[in-house]
């Protein structure tokens, strides 16, 4: 926990920023977390700096390895391995194959267009990139696969950055129209390291039916 009031809602640059420095997650499937570090959020424009691969995790093929049976809370996969898990969003339920494909270190300048000022001063963005495949028979069009969180090298939670609007460096986890059986799309979540000397080393998905701290992990 970063010790910031999770009930705060702020306005940034004249626009309403929902969940500013509060618990990450928007959408019908949201549920209370047991604990969470506090995300920043902002309406944004595309950033210009490019990201570079971080040594925290080595991407591998999204199709390589993965779960063969029921995934248990707290189970850990290698980056590039698929977890076949139940999925729900609002009144929609199905199955997905979820794979964290990379944890990439970005440039602090990537955040400049978000106008967050001192809220992100000295912090380094990491982009948790993942693929989602519809593993069932339900049409999952317009659902969202979020609840993806980063963890630091010591296992503590990284701060989330929930962006409202477009951020070209990291597109979020919305599923497109026509996301039927067998379709695959890519998602991304932003996690913040507190300084350049600290790495985001792993990722956790804690969407329903999992909970924060007892989710599915990749590292």
pTM score of the predicted model: 0.72
Q: Considering the domain boundaries, does residue 5 fall inside one?
A: no
Q: How confident is the model at residue 68 (pLDDT cuts 50, 70, 90)?
A: low
Cβ-contact 135, 84 below 8 angstroms:
yes
Q: How confident is the model at residue 96 (pLDDT cuts 50, 70, 90)?
A: very high
Which domain CATH number covers 200?
2.60.40.1240
User: How many domains, in total, are found in the chain?
Assistant: 1
CB atoms within 10 A of CB 7: 8
Q: Considering the domain boundaries, does residue 4 fall inside one?
A: no
Q: How far apart are CA 214 and CA 217, in angstroms?
A: 9
Q: What is the mean pLDDT of residues 50-57?
A: 40
Q: How far apart are CA 197 and CA 195, in angstroms?
A: 5
pLDDT at 52 over 80: no
Q: Which domain holds residue 43?
A: 10-218
| Of 44, 6, 16, 60, nearest in space to 190 by CA | 44
- Residue 29 or residue 87, greater confidence: 87
Q: What is the mean pLDDT of residues 143-147?
A: 95
Q: Considering the domain boundaries, does residue 3 fall inside one?
A: no
Q: Considering the domain boundaries, does residue 36 fall inside one?
A: yes
Q: How far apart are CA 58 and CA 202, in angstroms?
A: 11
Q: How confident is the model at residue 65 (pLDDT cuts 50, 70, 90)?
A: low
Q: Considering all CA atoms of the chain, what is the largest pairwise distance in Å, rounded to the nearest integer?
A: 49
| Of 31, 35, 143, nearest in space to 87 by CA | 143
pLDDT, tens only, 153-192? 999 999 999 888 889 999 899 999 999 999 999 999 999 9
Q: Considering the domain boundaries, does residue 22 fall inside one?
A: yes
Q: Considering the domain boundaries, does residue 2 fall inside one?
A: no
Q: What is the mean pLDDT of residues 130-135?
A: 98
Q: Considering the domain boundaries, does residue 175 fall inside one?
A: yes
Cβ-contact 98, 45 below 8 angstroms:
no
Q: How far apart are CA 213 and CA 91, in angstroms?
A: 24
Q: Considering the domain boundaries, does residue 214 fall inside one?
A: yes
Q: How confident is the model at residue 207 (pLDDT cuts 50, 70, 90)?
A: very high
Burial class from Cβ neighbours inside 10 Å (0-12, 13-18, 19+) for residue 5 reads exposed
């Amino acid at each position: 926990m970063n010790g910031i009031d999770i009930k705060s809602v702020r306005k940034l640059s004249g626009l309403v920023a929902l969940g500013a420095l509060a618990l990450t997650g928007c959408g019908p499937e949201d549920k209370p977390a047991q604990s969470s570090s506090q995300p920043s959020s902002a309406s944004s424009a595309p950033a210009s700096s490019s990201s570079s691969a971080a040594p925290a995790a080595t991407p591998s093929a999204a199709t390589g390895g993965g779960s063969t049976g029921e995934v248990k809370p707290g189970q850990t996969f290698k980056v590039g391995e698929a977890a076949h898990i139940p999925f729900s969003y609002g009144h929609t339920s199905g199955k997905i194959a979820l794979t964290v494909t990379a944890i990439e270190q970005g440039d602090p300048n990537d955040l400049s267009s978000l106008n967050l000022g001192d809220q992100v001063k000295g912090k380094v963005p990491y982009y948790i990139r993942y693929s989602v495949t519809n593993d069932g028979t339900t049409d999952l069009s317009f659902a969202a696969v979020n609840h993806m969180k980063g963890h630091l090298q010591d296992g503590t939670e990284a701060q989330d950055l929930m962006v409202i609007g477009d951020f070209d460096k990291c597109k979020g986890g919305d599923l497109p129209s026509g996301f039927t059986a067998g379709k695959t799309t890519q998602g991304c979540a932003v996690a913040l390291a507190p300084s350049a000397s600290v790495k985001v080393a792993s990722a956790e998905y804690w969407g329903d039916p999992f909970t924060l701290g007892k989710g599915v992990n990749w590292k």
